[in-house]
Amino acid sequence: FTNATSIALCLANSLVARRDFIHYDQLVRYKWWFKSGYMSSTGKCIGIRESTKEPLCEFERRQKKYADDLGISMKDMDYLSDAELLKQFNTCCIKDELADNDALARLAPVPLFFYRFPQAGIEYSGRSGQITHGNKIVYDACRYYGALSVAALHGSTKEQLLDNEFYSKHKSWFSNIELHPAVESVAKGSYKRNGYDAGIRGKDHIVSALEAALWAFWSDDGSFEKGALAAVNLGDDTNTTAAIYGQ
Query: pLDDT tens for residues 148-173?
Result: 999 999 999 999 999 999 999 999 99
Say yes or no to pLDDT of 181 above 80.
yes
Specify the pLDDT at position 98.
77
Weakest mean pLDDT among 10-14, 60-64, 88-92, 112-116 = 88-92
Q: What is residue 144's predicted lDDT score, i.e. its pLDDT?
A: 98
Q: Is the pLDDT of residue 225 over 90?
A: yes
Q: What stretch of H or E contains 111?
A: helix 109-114
pLDDT of residue 4: 86
pLDDT 10s digits, 67-102: 999 999 999 999 999 999 999 999 988 876 778 898
For 20, half-sphere exposure in the C-beta direction (CA atoms, 13 angstrom radius) is 7
Q: 214-218: long-range contacts (C-beta < 8 A, 24 or more apart)?
A: 214/162, 214/186, 215/191, 216/241, 216/245, 217/158, 217/162, 217/245, 218/162, 218/191, 218/192
The CB density around residue 200, as the number of other CB atoms within 10 Å, is 25
Res 13 pLDDT > 90: yes
Neighbours of 31 (CB within 10 A): 20
Domains parsed from the chain with CATH numbers: 1-96 (no CATH), 100-246 (1.10.4080.10)
Residue percentage of the chain with pLDDT more than 90:
86
